[in-house]
Amino acid sequence: MASKQAGGRAGRGVGRGAPGSRRGGDGAALKLEALAQKVVEMARAQEDPAVQIPIRALSNVSFNEEKRHIEMGDAQQSRNFFNYGQAKRFMQTLLVGSKCKDLIASGKTASIRQIYYLSKHTIKGTNEKTFDDQSESDPVIEDLEVALDALREELHVFASNRGNLVGPITLVDAGSTLDCAAMGSAGYAVPSIVEADVVQFKKCQARFVLHVEKDTVWRRFHEDRFWEKHSCIVSHGGGQPARGMRRLLQRFHEELRLPVFVLLDNDPWGYYIYSVIKHGSINLAYESRRMAIPDAKFIGVSSFDYERCGLNDDVKIALDAGDVKRAKQIADYPWFANKRPWQKEIRKLLANGFKMEVEAMITRHLTYLTDEYVPMKLQDRKQWLD
């Protein structure tokens, strides 16, 4: 049976999370105060007030071969007050920091959208606004996270919920006990904050996790009760999974010892989503230690599945120049560059000249994806990509 081949043990002991994984606040508050105090001391000493921000770019990222995830380097940029090009960003950083400190002090949380509105105002005596758009405030929150070595959740900031799951697991979410096998057609909506002080695992009979890319695919698996037939959790992230989903998947893997299998579109975006789930993202490299799942396996859709599954030309979507460029970039990622199976997979995609969605499998028949394709993939380890 496919679920047995996939690994895992039903009815295993349930973990409660690693120490220090609470949403917290005291530690983050002290770090915010220290940051502010340093700026004050520089000003009193008649120095140019500055904040040091680690650089969040590919140039400051490396792949840790031992841990098998992306890590941020030591390179930093100085954000100075007496620098015309940096002054606004400097003040925005301190402003958002002060709002986070207020949230911690009041015991409240706010969404990243609410942080934008809390911080937005016109500076007295000018026509200058602190923020013109949320696209300015969101990166500042990430800058604070990495500068303080504090999670967004510790700063009492959360994002909108994205992603759902269904399967034989019972969770305790903010004090409410929830059976994820009995939550209707929408399943369990994964929250932004899933740390152990918010979400606990009460009972788990799942043998593995199957994570799919899109809601529409997830609904196929839910309606066909794939999770029941194969004793597994089926989740989706609505495209690239949000941090809450990635963190929960990692907790499933680390605390419950559940293998994680990933089913994504056969295109460069699908490859990238897998890369983020497995090794972490370049932009959020500082979060890899609590989100990356180095043992995750890619089971499809593969570039070889067109012939393997006897599909027809109706499933083909022509690659454009952007797809080709992106595929080559991904092939050059250090964590893919030395993996011959992945190089073979990407070369096949480029040779095909077309990409495929997961839904392409449905051209065989409506339940081919859940009844035949995925069970076949789970059973044949030679088709997995690591």
By C-alpha distance, which of 146, 56, 133, 54 is closest to 97? Answer: 146
Beta bridge partners of 169: 204
Catalytic annotation present for 373: no
By C-alpha distance, which of 71, 65, 74 is closest to 335? Answer: 65
Q: How much of the chain is helix, strand and coil, in % rounded to 5?
A: 45, 20, 35
Sequence letter at residue 326: R
d(CA 151, CA 272): 23
Beta bridge partners of 76: 54
Sequence letter at residue 223: E
* Catalytic position from the list 116, 117, 306, 368: 117
Any residues with CB less than 8 A from the CB of 95 and at least 6 apart, and which?
119, 130
Residue 224 DSSP SS3: coil
Alpha carbon separation from 272 to 137, 171, 280, 290, 324 (Å, rounded)? 25, 30, 10, 19, 13
∠161-282-300 over CA atoms, to 5°?
70
By C-alpha distance, which of 76, 79, 81, 78 is closest to 43? Answer: 81
* H or E element that contains 31: helix 26-44
The secondary structure of residue 385, as a DSSP letter, is: B
Alpha carbon separation from 264 to 153, 241, 261, 302, 335 (Å, rounded)? 28, 12, 10, 9, 19
Give catalytic residue positions. 117
